[in-house]
Amino acid sequence: MNDHLAPGFIFATHQEAETALQTLGRAGIDLKTLSLLGKGYHSEEHPTGFYTVGDKMKAWGATGAFWGGIWSLLLAPAVFFLPGIGVLAMAGPVVLTLVGVLEGAALVGGLSALGAALTRLGVPADAQIKYETALKVDQYVLVVHGSLEDVARVRELLAPPSNSSHSAMGAMGATRAAA
């Protein structure tokens, strides 16, 4: 076992997720240690597109500016179609883990591809269910990859005020990842 955790935070809107990333960035948190996942589109509202130009990922539509900004901050931008969830935009270390799961085509114990990737990152089963449920209802999940100290600092910075609509999976969603 190592001392790294993968707790997550659920945000109801892309504005809340963006504010959290800005808060963490201003506080000196290395944004490359974060993953953000979300559907990022509402097909009944506006056309949406994701595409590459050279080595950069671009997006257009109602949340195009949001995803464009996120993809310039975080590692490995990607868009996947995942059964049961649909089209899912994401960036960060979770992308490489998900690609590894999909390339290996070995899903564990009936887990979804996303669930298997989250398991590899050390996210407990109860948190995985909450994250997948949040994504299905168009919420956003921010996963923190780091040491115990890093995670504690992020938890402190993102501690929800009493009137916030985001929920922290911090203490409940954090477990030690296998070495």
For the chain, give the number of residues. Answer: 179
**What pLDDT, in 10s, does the model give residues 73-124?**
787 888 888 888 888 888 899 998 998 888 876 555 557 889 889 988 888 8
The residue behind tokens 């995942």 is 82
**What pLDDT, in 10s, does the model give residues 25-36?**
999 999 999 999
Gap between the terminal Cα atoms of the chain: 5
pLDDT value of residue 77: 83
Radius of gyration of the chain from its Cα atoms, rounded to whole angstroms? 15
In three-state secondary structure terms, 16 is helix
pTM of this structure: 0.76
